[in-house]
A and B are shown apart, each in its own frame.
Chain A
Amino acid sequence: MTSRKIFFYVFILILILLPWFNTDIQNDYSISKVRQENISFYEINPCKISLVQFIGNNIESIYQNHYYFRPNNKSPIQCFGRIAGVAVMQKDLETQFIISIGTNSLINLLFQGLFWVFIFSLVPKNKKPTLSKNKFKNLAILMLSYLFAFSIYAESRFYENNFYEFNFNDFKSYLLIFFSCFLISKNLIDMYEERSENLINFIPFIYLFTFIFSGFNFSLLAIVFLYLGLISFFSDEGNTKFNILYVFLSIWWLINSNGSFYFNVGKLRGFTSSVYEFNANLFWIIFFYFFTRGIHKFYIENKKYLSLNSFTNNLSITSFIVLIFGLVSSNVPLINFFSYYLFGFQRYGVSSNKPFAFDEFGVKISWRGIFPSSETIGEFYGFVILILLFWIIKSEVIRPTDYIGIFSASLGLYFSDNRTAIVLVFLISLCYIYLRFFKEFINFKFLLLFFLVFFVGLFMFLLSSTSYEFTSSSIISQSTAFQYDNIYSSYLKLLNSRQEKSSLFSSAFGLFSTIGYFLNRSEMWGLFFTRYNPTYTELLIGSGPLNFGQLYGEVVINDPESFLLPHSSLLSLVVFIGIIPLTMLLAVLAKNLIRSKKNYEFVLISVYILINIIKNDSINYLVVFVFYGLTFLILKNRGKSVFSR
């Protein structure tokens, strides 16, 4: 490493550490220790002492996990990196200290943005320097910066809770956001163009770096794909049929955007609208269009540089780092804060440091580590195991990183307690081994019959402990339990009336309900149908992409104890795009699966992803949407599998 590079890395390290030393130098404070009986110093002196000073006086806060460091995005610029306040809470026998750290959103945008641009710079450069001379480059950056500034205006209700002294009626305020985004985007795109060839192999790392700005409903990752989407649009690339269909749907979604329903974005931050209103819907319609186009363009431009060796290696490394950071951050509160802040997660890492724990009924407690959702990270670990299996069989070599990958992914999958993923990994592995080695010896029809008998037997076994009458009505009975007073959603009304009138509908929904029951989804899906209140047109073509506001705000229900998402990406898609485009999407998928039926890896991974997204909200997470989208494109190949090249 050259001395220039060392100097550069030291300089960056200093820049990252510097803000946490920010303190009030005009006064000399005698900083007191945080105690259960007395936190008056921190109540009297908000935003006066730095995080480093706090830690210096409360060393135990680094390792005792009843300390919780939390960012306070609605704090002044001057307060960045300082202690904005301390609160004491009693939870059962544990005394919790919530330490609020000043992290002004506007500074976050610059600080996190430039730090992540630096992270991008760690990816090796292209073999040949390829700084683009694309005539639309600056126009695309200009437009995406405008789009970002517009999103602040469109979702001002969300940002009011995250910005300190930001005048939403003043043009100059938006100018600040616009130029911040422009600065970050310009540097990021330059970095991207110099490294585009290698980035496709580094895609697994998006499970570690989610790149979501603290205090914003926007991700740095979106900048890259929006840029590529805009370039693809200006260059007149893409599918005309898709464009026409999307424009047609968009017009309807916009006309239909009446009302104003707020949605608490929570762990979906960065890839969901915080409000169902005309402007917000307009933003997310444009965002989704360019974003999906961008993913496609990214694949088309870089597919020839895909190296399975490097890709699988990075999968192993990512699963290992995600697991290790999860374990460390659940034990070290300070790392918990910094992993949330510097990796850009939607949610803080889990505070439970017992990944092997069971509850009082002997049921395993799911453990998510640093990732916002245990089920989704479980899916990822399962995916890693499958891809590594394909890779090892193909290459006939096991590298040291493969051992690390298989070990960490297996452990992570167990911790996450995603039982569907565990069963699928087992079954798909068996299928793959059969297809690769025993296809000649065992008749395919016999095997199909075996699986059919196995599943019917399993179904009968599961039903033996409970009656079909009970399971087939589990969703409706849950829906009725959540239904409030005389307020019925249109879909619940339809369900109730059709149950009585149509035996075909009743049987089909009964089967769906039974599947939901065994997947432990009766409550979530029941809740969904209590809320889902579409008109006939909304049922057919949805109410706009990435917008849950209408679903969660339109109908009053008996609120469940905790906030629950639909727990099915398909149900989310029904809300977003309706059943007609969804059926078309599934038909395209089926067509691709049939055409590529000899591409076993593609078919098996698609089945794995499809089953998982039916019972999980996975694709509502930005990184998962990108990862699954790119994986689908990478593995899809009519002639030959990428594993047989």
Chain B
Amino acid sequence: MSVIEEICGNYPEGFEKLDISNDPNYVFVNDPSYSARQLFDADGNKVFVNSFIECEHYVSGGWGFSPLKNQELFLQDIMLYFIVFGVIVSFLKPKIKEFFQN
């Protein structure tokens, strides 16, 4: 699952990416069937997006989850690496013991 799908939901059928950046007059239209989402930038600024196109545009530009959620996901990643390291050590335990005993 891509970051965009994770944050904004599944791509709508027949979705076509528009070049919004080059159109200064572009106005995002609210999609009543889309549940609004709150996005955050690196400085903690918030924005509400009301359609998939708007959400996709912001996420492509670097906006994303709340800092708290990002931190949690980061810590979960760290935890995963730590655990995998622990698993490797568990398998090497007899050899490590042997090494220190010698």
Contact = CB atoms under 8 A, between A and B. Distances in A.
Interface of A: 76-78, 106-107, 110, 131, 164-165, 167, 169-170, 172-173, 175-176, 179-180, 182-183, 186-187, 190
B13 to A, nearest CB: 19
Contacts of A186: 87, 90-91
28 contacts: A76-B71, A76-B72, A76-B75, A77-B72, A77-B76, A77-B79, A78-B71, A78-B72, A78-B75, A106-B76, A164-B72, A165-B72, A165-B73, A169-B1, A170-B6, A173-B76, A175-B80, A176-B76, A176-B79, A176-B83, A179-B80, A182-B87, A183-B83, A183-B86, A183-B87, A186-B90, A187-B90, A190-B93
Given A169-B1, A179-B84, 6 more contacts: A165-B73, A172-B80, A176-B80, A180-B83, A182-B87, A186-B91
Interface string B45-65: 000000000000000000000
Contact of B75 (A77, A169, A180): A77
Contacts of A76: 68, 71-72, 75
A107 B78 CA distance: 12
A77 B83 CA distance: 15
Nearest to A179: B83
A131 B97 CA distance: 14
B61 to A, nearest CB: 22
State the 9 A-B residue pairs at the shortest beta-carbon distance, nearest first: A77-B75, A165-B72, A179-B83, A186-B90, A183-B86, A176-B80, A183-B87, A76-B72, A183-B83
Interface of B: 1, 6, 68-69, 71-73, 75-76, 79-80, 83-84, 86-87, 90-91, 93-94
Q: Provide the main secondary structure of the chain B interface.
A: helix
Q: Provide the main secondary structure of the chain A interface.
A: helix
Contacts of A190: 90, 93
A106 B79 contact: yes
Contacts, number: 49
B102 to A, nearest CB: 16
Nearest to B88: A183
A556 B73 CA distance: 41
Contacts of A131: 94
A165 B83 contact: no
A78 B74 CA distance: 11
A458 to B, nearest CB: 59
A176 B74 CA distance: 13
Contacts of A172: 80
A125 B17 CA distance: 65
A172 B74 CA distance: 12
Contacts of A176: 76, 79-80, 83
A266 B6 CA distance: 33
A453 to B, nearest CB: 64
A180 B73 CA distance: 16
Contacts of B6: 167, 170
Contacts of B72: 76-78, 164-165
Contacts of A180: 83
A426 B17 CA distance: 81
Chain A CB within 10 Å, residue with most, of B6, B71, B76, B94: B76
Contacts of B75: 76-78
A110 B87 CA distance: 12
Contact of A165 (B69, B79, B84, B93): B69
A186 B94 CA distance: 13
B71 A179 contact: no
Nearest to B74: A77
Contacts of B73: 165
Contacts of B68: 76
A176 B94 CA distance: 25
Contact of B87 (A77, A170, A179): A179
